[in-house]
Structure 1
Amino acid sequence: MLLKPIQLYFYWRRKWQLPMLLVLLATLPTLAGPTVPGAEVYVSSQKGKGGFTLAAGGKTAALYASNTDWPGVLRAAKDLQADINRVTKLTPTFITDKAPAGKEVVLIGTLGKSPLIDGLVKAKKLDVSGVAGKWETFLLQVVEQPMPGVDRALVIAGSDKRGTIFGIYDLSAQIGVSPWYWWADVPTPQQQALYVAPGRHTQGEPKVKYRGIFINDEAPAMQGWATEKFGGLNSKMYTHMFELILRLKGNYLWPAMWGNMFSVNDLQNPVLADEYGIVMGTSHHEPLTRAHAEWEKAGKGAWNYQTNAAALQEFWRGGIKRMGTRENIVTIGMRGDGDEPMSEGSNIALLEKIVADQRKIIAEETGKPAEQTPQMWALYKEVQDYYDKGMRVPDDVTLLLCDDNWGNIRKLPKLGDKPRKGGYGIYYHYDYVGGPRNYKWLNTNPIPRIWEQMHLAHEYGANQIWIVNVGDLKPMEFPISFFLDYAWNPDKIGANQIDDYTRQWATQQFGAKHAAAIADILAKYAKYNSRRKPELLNEKTYSLTNYREFETVVADYNKLLVETEQLNEKMPPEHRDAYFQLVLHPVKACANLNEMYYTVAQNHLYAQQGRASTNDLAAKAKQLFERDAEISRYYNQTMAKGKWNHMMDQTHIGYTYWQQPPPIKCPK
């Protein structure tokens, strides 16, 4: 008997380990599908027994949702309509006002919001026992004779708004649309036909309740890019970010805040976030939904609760009143002005009073007990000292534990401690501004390190909130994917599956043919960059004489660069922009940077020794410095026809203290 690809998948999944399965899948006409190792693949380009025809023979199944469903669900359904077109060049009909007729139809809806889905449940045609009442849970299932005039339906049902949205985007990923199709210009492979396997398809309930990213330190890169392309960090830009987060099955965002005011700069920002289904928050030092920059605009007097409590209360009250009924996790507590430590005179009693007063404002402005509004208190930097010295907040408040800004979690709940109603979360860093040095330019975060730290968080029960500081978002694409995939269910990715995850992520972006080679590059460049972050490099970082340390580091990078450039020549033209962003650029830029500092080190040594080649090395160092600028210019202005101009404007050469140097200067 000749098995179809989808049947082979399930047969060999029982027989072989995943690495052998990946070899098999590379030879089959299946789609890229999910990134999590072992995740179910339920869409194929070939029809198996009982398969639902999503597209074939120049036709597609119509999409149908009730117009009473959440606006965010209807919007995501239109994304599915566009995604099917990306894959097949066919555009399915999307109906919301009348029942469709046809042999096969896609039915989309949310329990309790869609009469269509509720009717299927009532008629016992759809079993939602594993979905109803759950958090962000979806079910995809083929249903026979769902309604008059329809033979079969592919039902996408969600337990709540985001459950349905995640079900929609799960199908989009399965048909071959990468979540990074816009943010990294990943092309979508073309297919003539799409079939969905019979059975119930779900990823269950997420293990981490709130999963998100923090856009931080966005000048000059993201700030310059957004201003040029959208007129600022406004709703035109943020809708792209909201969609990305949802496609990655995240649900939470701290927006750009240095000089920006999410809810003031564009009044549509918070409205559209809520419509899309994004839970908004503010960073660890921005209480009661107010951006820090708002105090300069609307505050009165000093940022000092001991001397100016009334004005601060009025300011915070405005933030909660503006929030209304939209989904937010409200930051409580207080740091000094500009994310600085509180004054020496601050004490635990004062901070506990601040929290009590803030919760009183929350209760008064929402008209319900404070514990019914999600809140978090970030134990960031010196704030953890307050906690360690005995400061406490009410049990319903989530304690957001933090890393040390360099990827090492500082504190975890004690095993055996009484559970908190608000639970615990983690604030993690891929990007940082502060001492001893900023690191903002490129990805320096190896996936095994992230796995180790977030695995600890999961094992110790810090699963209420996971949020990661991603700087300008680009170029952190790969570790962002991992962070949000891992947050959905940490039990699905073991320590021995990290390489498998990397290969599958590479497959999702570039196809199976070169996935193993790309995965090796992704792993190596992050490992090399984490040895010493680029901003901490100079000509004295490594030794020229002890075991040829500097030479070895440069040789490692240059060997990897040769491999990466050779692979670039094998990439199809449509993949070149995505390959440069995600793979080639970080290798090329860091190989050049390390060689520049190596050359400067040689130049200094040879000058001391009075060698004739000293000036030759000086000239070479200047050439490498100029090449650094050329690499950034290509990223900004040539790649993707200038779509990402300014994203590589970040200063990264010539640091002398924690803050970035204003201009880039060639090392002396």
Structure 2
Amino acid sequence: MRNKQKFFVCLMVALSSMSIKANSIVDGLGFGMPSYIQQTRSEGSFRIAGNGTAAKICVDPSDWKGVVRAANDLGDDVCKVSGLSAKVISTTSILSSSVIVGTIGKSKLIDRLVSEKKIDVSEIQGKWESFLIQTVDGNLVIAGSDKRGTIYGIYDVSEKIGVSPWYWWADVPVKKSEAIYVKSGRYIQPSPKVKYRGIFINDEEPSFGQWTRAKFGGFNSKMYSHMFELLLRLKANYLWPAMWSSAFNEDDPMNSVVADEYGIVMGTSHHEPMMRAHKEYTRRRKEVGPWDYIVNREGVDRFFQEGLERNKAYDNLITIGMRGDGDVAMGKGSDEENMATLDSVIKGQRELIHKVYGKDPAEVPQTWAIFTEVQRYYDKGFTVPDDVLLMFCDNNWGYIRRIGPAKEKERKGGMGLYYHIDMNGGPWNDRWINTTTIPKLREQFNLAYQTGIDDLWIVNVGDLKPKELPIDFIMRYAWNPDAIPANKVWDYMVNWAAGIFGERYAEEIADIVSKYSKYNLWRKPEVQATTVFSVVNHLEADRVISLWRDVATKAEALRDKIAPEAQDAYYQLVLYPAKASAGVAEIYLAAAKNNLYAEQGRVSANDYAGRVRELFEIDKKLGEYYNTSMANGKWKNMMKDVHLGYVKWSMPKKDSLPNLKEVVPEEFPKMGVAVEGCIKSWPGSDNKAILPTFDWLSNQSYYIDVFNRGNGSFRFKARANKSWVKLSQTKGTVEKDARIQVSIDWGKLPFGESEAMIEIVQKQVTVPVYVHVVKTELPKTQEPYWGNLANAEFSIPANQYNANIAGKNARWIVLPDLGRDEACMGIQPVTAPSAEPRNAPCLEYKVFLPKVGKTTVCLGILPTQDVYPQRGLRIAMGLDNNEPQIIDARKGFVDTFSEYNSKNLAKSKVLKPLPSRNRSIKLIATGQSRRNEVFDNLRWLDVEVEVLEPGMHTLKIFMIDPEIVLEKIVVNPDNKYPSYFGAPSVRHN
């Protein structure tokens, strides 16, 4: 699917005593701060462990509790790696040959080194979450600008010596080493580019809830301490706790205490204001009264105030605003009435913050979530005080709804993003497995970051497992998005795999996890259906089955090569998601074949029903192993989500199979015939059996299936009435199915259009199959081009252009592995101003169009949301030197740029979208259930162009708005042969 580029797994930089300033802290994986750990001694290096001893770790007992705790973790980590005990000493004296850990202004150890000018902390002092690592006078110093800065410095060392942040949550084995040295030097980590970076545990029943109750007795501090540690090891700092069946502060009063000690900033979800969990309200609904600020302000305010007073001593980011009871819209009035109520709510909440904290509310961190219906309020002008962080949201399925508005760029409170890699709710559930690709995450979060949404990223991660990979990427990417451009995503994947499983199989593992998540994004498991991929057109279902089987087979084969201590991690992170996802996908594909073949009367339909049931049992066993045996039962119940048999957005009560049909064979063998491109079968259909058109340029091969409708077997013969028709077999015995491949001997064929007939004969039954062939002059060009002689549908991958012409302020760039195929084309920079075609970036594609007249072109773009509603989301297309047509992805069509008034869309000429007959890629052979651009992860824009002369033409695609991402172009979409992906791409010359 992709031309792999090989990148260095780790960039080794020779260091002297010079200062090294890191660009990011996606450390230990080849990005940002260079690795300073080595296994051999060098001049001026510091020995952490070796020669039978480990260095002492010194920490001031008056430093932050979280720092002292992390220092002890470092001691444990050194022991895990080297087998040598690294003693942690609480002291204010600097001991020789020791690791000195501390926070500027909080540690006497660090402050003494500063005062004695042994270390220079000017680059980090007073900064947010920054740290310095330096070898000084035979010691190793880890100094942080603040509590978390120091903790991050400690865990930076831990990861680089061989302890993964996922050592507990994914059972990643520690990398053993007899000796650990830090190269001589001074290493500075600047502050993160995104201030608050965290996760939201949500949709946590049945899996996470049953797991934590079985293992820890509930949602308590024993469990959360592991989560806090994971966040800190990932250099994250923020958490929205589980809330479906739990109340963080009440279920275990130590939860908030431990969070604060660890150094985690706590918040509450978008519909849980003022540090109160929703369950806290439902448990005392009668006491508080109605969740209605109009009729029960006194009761609601008292409830809010209690939450603030309980948590004011801790580090919080307070969610303000108010939604309805249970994650629904607030109020039953109009938007204007609800906005007036919301205004009263926020004013009341600010008064309570002033009262409880005893200071200006502007000095207390707050955020307001612009989620679902609240987006309408914001778009209508509703706002909150300037010091409140505005938290924009995605569409629940991973596409952000707004870029950072220009009017908010200087906002004191800043802007943040609430993003889903897990969803329970509309448009549909997306819970069970990881369906989010790293290229998609990079594209969407880059769009957010570059437009100023960089103060908070909170990610709905569901049960946390099995979303380890996207969590890892987002938290690392948040530290410095500039460190991982689109062409470094593959580096990240390889380095992620190497960091967990070692370098030997890193590329193979990266390929497997990239593919299973990519294929899941074609059609997420919960929205699978038997009507998605075409069984009869372009061999689509067969190709998809083959791809899924290939990734599952590779994952299974690699399992035996993985070290025994890494087997549990491999099952969780690679094998289970790949194999289980492949199984679910094939269940629906095999069921689709069963349904179609049963309609045709094939006895082999029963084999596909059997395959579906076999896969269903495999799925059960895969989950049972995860839930009972893996890691000695550590993750009991964690994989409990129902993921098969969705008929609406919400989770079914149990896994179930799609509808299957059984064929009762006729008493005696009986021939049936089916042809590629048609769901009908013969004898039995009034239509003629016609193969799709063959053309000389494309040189296709099409199939004829000869199948049995009865018991026993039969013999058949096949003969063509023209010598230029080639058949892969002319006779055979059929017990269930036989396939004849039909191709053309072009050397025997005259120019022009020709017809032929193939007869399939069994005793007295003859089925004629008709052949239509086009052989005309081939285009005379040396350039690569697209098209065919039959004026049939053809597809062009966006990244396979003939020319890429930069615009005045932007250019098209390749976004590797994004979308359904090998790459998409996006704009750099995404903050470029909108452009007219004459000065816009342009992609050119050479196409052969054999007929004059109107031709439809479908542009497949990522379903980017209405990120800039006042403007729309526009792209332009033109043929040759004709004036380009502008298409607004959100509003329709605009004829030409000269007629487009960017300040007043209503005055522009908006063309009615073309009828659905053009959207062949969105149709399927046997139905259209569950189809939309969100589920398909693609939006199709249809344009009609006038072809004035047959022959070679230049198709031109212009950027108008910079957020557009182009994935595919389909010319002459043909609803006679509908499919999900469209005709396979074939480039000529």
Larger Rg computed on CA atoms:
2
Equivalent residue letter for 2:43: K
Q: How far 1:301 sits from its partner (Å)?
A: 2.0
Q: 1:76 aligns with which of 53, 70, 91?
A: 70
Residues 439, 486 of structure 2: 8 Å contact kept: yes
Residue 577 of structure 2 corresponds to residue 586 of structure 1: yes
Residues 59, 68 of structure 2: 8 Å contact kept: yes
For 1:202-217, list aligned pairs within 5 A. Answer: 202-217=188-203
For 1:115-134, list aligned pairs within 5 A. Answer: 115-134=108-127
Residue 306 of structure 2 corresponds to residue 318 of structure 1: yes
Residues 368, 390 of structure 2: 8 Å contact kept: yes
Residue 324 of structure 2 corresponds to residue 336 of structure 1: yes
Residues 36, 492 of structure 1: 8 Å contact kept: no
- After alignment, is 342-351 or 109-118 more displaced? 342-351
| Aligned mates of 1:327, 1:227 — CA distance in 2 | 27
Aligned residue for 1:357? 348
Equivalent residue letter for 1:585: Y
Residue 648 of structure 2 corresponds to residue 664 of structure 1: no
Equivalent residue letter for 1:286: E
The structure in which a higher percent of residues are strand is 2
TM-score (norm: length of structure 1):
0.93
1:155-191 CA distances to partner (integer Å, 9 max, x unpaired)? 0101110010000000001101100001000101110
| Aligned mates of 1:354, 1:73 — CA distance in 2 | 39
| Aligned mates of 1:608, 1:62 — CA distance in 2 | 75
| Aligned mates of 2:48, 2:32 — CA distance in 1 | 24
Aligned residue for 1:22? 9
Residues 66, 116 of structure 1: 8 Å contact kept: yes
| Matched residue SS, 2:598 | helix
For 1:29-44, list aligned pairs within 5 A. Answer: 34-37=28-31, 39-44=33-38
Distance 1:113 1:100, change over 3 A: closer
Aligned residue for 2:539? 548
Residues 94, 109 of structure 2: 8 Å contact kept: no
Distance 1:21 1:440, change over 3 A: closer
Unaligned runs of 5+ in 1: 1-17, 26-31, 145-151
Aligned residue for 1:147? none
Distance 1:621 1:461, change over 3 A: same
Equivalent residue letter for 2:451: Y
Structure with the greater relative contact order (CA < 8 A, sep ≥ 6): 1 or 2? 1
Q: How far 1:100 sits from its partner (Å)?
A: 5.8
Q: How far 1:20 sits from its partner (Å)?
A: 5.6
| Aligned mates of 1:420, 1:461 — CA distance in 2 | 10
Residue 55 of structure 2 corresponds to residue 61 of structure 1: yes
Q: How far 1:98 sits from its partner (Å)?
A: 5.8
- After alignment, is 196-205 or 408-417 more displaced? 408-417
Distance 1:392 1:129, change over 3 A: same
Aligned residue for 1:243? 229
| Aligned mates of 1:364, 1:342 — CA distance in 2 | 26
Aligned residue for 2:514? 523
Aligned residue for 2:143? 157
Q: How far 1:259 sits from its partner (Å)?
A: 1.7
Give the alignment's Cα RMSD to 1 decimal. Answer: 1.5
Residue 604 of structure 2 corresponds to residue 613 of structure 1: yes
| Matched residue SS, 1:95 | strand
| Aligned mates of 2:496, 2:433 — CA distance in 1 | 19
TM-score (norm: length of structure 2):
0.63
Q: How far 1:90 sits from its partner (Å)?
A: 0.7
Residues 221, 647 of structure 1: 8 Å contact kept: yes
Residue 301 of structure 2 corresponds to residue 307 of structure 1: no
Equivalent residue letter for 1:72: G
Identity of aligned residues (%): 50
For 1:344-383, list aligned pairs within 5 A. Answer: 344-345=332-333, 346-383=337-374
Residue 524 of structure 2 corresponds to residue 533 of structure 1: yes
Aligned residue for 1:440? 431
Residues 37, 497 of structure 1: 8 Å contact kept: no
- After alignment, is 386-395 or 92-101 more displaced? 92-101
| Aligned mates of 2:408, 2:458 — CA distance in 1 | 23
Residues 94, 100 of structure 2: 8 Å contact kept: no
Distance 1:169 1:90, change over 3 A: same
Equivalent residue letter for 1:247: R
| Aligned mates of 2:417, 2:127 — CA distance in 1 | 23
Residue 218 of structure 2 corresponds to residue 232 of structure 1: yes
| Aligned mates of 2:544, 2:576 — CA distance in 1 | 18
Equivalent residue letter for 2:317: I
Q: How far 1:651 sits from its partner (Å)?
A: 0.4
Aligned residue for 2:131? 138
Distance 1:423 1:38, change over 3 A: closer
Residues 396, 426 of structure 2: 8 Å contact kept: no
Q: 2:172 aligns with which of 186, 203, 206?
A: 186
Equivalent residue letter for 1:179: P
| Aligned mates of 2:11, 2:326 — CA distance in 1 | 55
Q: 1:221 aligns with which of 179, 203, 207?
A: 207
Equivalent residue letter for 1:310: E
Q: 1:89 aligns with which of 74, 77, 83?
A: 83
| Aligned mates of 2:30, 2:372 — CA distance in 1 | 33
Q: 1:420 aligns with which of 408, 411, 420?
A: 411
Equivalent residue letter for 1:128: V
Equivalent residue letter for 1:312: V
Distance 1:21 1:259, change over 3 A: closer
| Aligned mates of 1:401, 1:121 — CA distance in 2 | 42
Equivalent residue letter for 1:331: T
| Aligned mates of 1:116, 1:418 — CA distance in 2 | 40
| Matched residue SS, 1:427 | strand
Q: How far 1:24 sits from its partner (Å)?
A: 8.9
Residue 382 of structure 2 corresponds to residue 399 of structure 1: no
Residue 249 of structure 2 corresponds to residue 258 of structure 1: no
- After alignment, is 410-419 or 471-480 more displaced? 410-419
Equivalent residue letter for 1:628: D
Aligned residue for 2:450? 459
| Matched residue SS, 1:305 | coil
Equivalent residue letter for 2:100: L
Equivalent residue letter for 1:93: K
Residues 143, 150 of structure 2: 8 Å contact kept: yes
Q: 1:649 aligns with which of 623, 640, 644?
A: 640
Q: How far 1:624 sits from its partner (Å)?
A: 1.3
Paired residues in the alignment total: 637
